[in-house]
Structure 1
Amino acid sequence: MSDAADRLTEVRAKIADAATRAQRRADDICLIAVSKTHDAAAIRPLIAAGQRHFGENRVQEAAAKWPELRAETPDIVLHLIGQLQSNKAEEAVALFDSIHSVDRSSLVQALAKASEKAGKQPQLFVQVNIGDEDQKGGCAVADLPALLTEAKNAGLTIDGLMAIPPADIEPAPFFALLDELAERNSLPERSMGMSGDYETAVMLGATHARVGTALFGVRG
């Protein structure tokens, strides 16, 4: 418990410091604890320390562990941060409060159909392939306006953009580009920054930081 609480306190302090340097309010940044591959026993200490927003990569994994944890702590907010198959859209809409990986036309249509059927829509982010990497999900920067228009026409509300910069390259220019794209498209939310670079992301406009290792510790 104390280790989890200490790590959470440290990350929150670093977010607050970065926000202050950027003349922002720390309360405006949502810290998402990336709990993918961690079991309930590893997650509970962070919940006990006050963390409420958690991120998962896969619908199936989240469905296996979160119903029990949410029954214990009903105010948990669950974010899907990994790629989503269109045929899992209905399950994702039922399980998650926020989906950060909308990236193609077929998924927009599947989410619109699932949201209408469920009578509710999660908070949605369009994932942008900010570094134009073949192996990464996300829509191309050039395709973003068309995808946003399609989502709007399908009855979906897109709240923001999400990106994962290329590894081993200075992330700041990519964060700055995502911030600019969100601004250009009048989107208030920016999901960017992970354990190694969340402070930079906060200074460049992140509203949601997805932090795993810095909160859960390095695996032995």
Structure 2
Amino acid sequence: MKTAETSLDRLAESRARITRAARDAGRDPQEVTLVCVSKTFAAPDITPIIEAGERVFGENRVQEALEKWPALKKNHLGLELHLIGPLQSNKAQEAVLFFDVIETVDREKIAKTIASEIQKTGRHPRLYVQVNTGAEPQKAGVLPQEADRFIASCRTDYGLDISGLMCIPPVDEQASPHFALLNKIAKRNGIAVLSMGMSSDFELAIQLGATHVRVGGAIFGSR
């Protein structure tokens, strides 16, 4: 287990970086939500971060979240959980019931399935479309040239309220063009929420309009 002091020091530094980046960009730091990426970390590692006041967390896998978060949610009020990993259709019901935000809506089949589960359960998590800005074949996400059509389809064909966009730039490319592209797609589709930027590049993402930054290693340490 990582010591509380180490993780809390990292959290304080990450918070300071967010504040500096926002102010440098002429933005209010309160406009930027920190999503603490807790995937692969156990409840004892996460608890000090919650007790320090953080309330928004990201998980990659539905099953992993279901194993560790119910007890954390029971013991700590006001937690918000984001699914930031690919969603399989057979996990859609659990995701709709358990997560507050699903950031990885990326294909017709999953949009249709989520819509069906929302109808069945009456629960409405906030939904973001994941855009594969680098058109990487191994990565999830709708292609940039198909994003407008897909967003429209989600809204009109499936009745989904798409409130955000998410991207993960290629690791071997400059992130700036990818963040700028996501911002451009969001603006022309009337979308205000941009989930972009991780531990190594979230300052840049904030400069280019990120409203949510997903930070794991810079808080919890190496996995």
TM over 0.5: same fold?
yes
Secondary structure (helix, strand or coil) at the match of 1:109 reads helix
Which residue in the other structure is 1:167 paired with?
Answer: 171
TM-score (normalised: structure 1): 0.97
Q: Deviations over 1:82-101 (max 9, x none)?
A: 00011211100011000100
Determine helix, strand or coil for the equivalent of 1:126: strand
- CA shift digits 1:108-164 (9 cap, x unpaired): 000001111111211110000000100000001111122111111211100011000
Are 1:137 and 2:140 matched, yes or no? yes
Write the distance in 2 (CA, Å) between the matches of 1:165 and 1:57: 17
Instruction: Show the counterpart of 1:19.
Output: 22
Q: How does 1:102-117 map to 2 (within 5 A)?
A: 102-117=105-120
Residue 191 of structure 1 corresponds to which residue in structure 2? 195
Counterpart residue identity of residue 126, structure 1? V
> Which ranges of structure 2 fall in alignment gaps of 5 or more residues?
none
Aligned-pair CA distance for 1:168: 2.3
Deviation track 1:3-37 (CA, whole Å, cap 9, x = no partner) reads 22221111111111111111111101110010000
Whole-Å separation in 2 of the counterparts to 1:23 and 1:6:
26
1:74 Cα deviation after fit = 2.1
AA at the equivalent of 1:193: G
Distance, in Å, in 1 between the alignment partners of 2:173 and 2:185 is 20
Contact kept? 2:148, 2:185, Cα under 8 Å = no
Identical pairs, percent:
49
- With normalisation by structure 2, the TM-score equals 0.96
CA RMSD between the two structures:
0.9
Q: Between Structure 1 and Structure 2, how many residues are aligned?
A: 219
| 1:42 is aligned to 2:63 | no
Question: Contact 1:4 / 1:49 at 8 angstroms: preserved in 2?
Answer: no
Structure 1 stretches of 5 or more lacking a match? none
3-state SS of 1:196 partner: coil
1:85 aligns with 2:88: yes
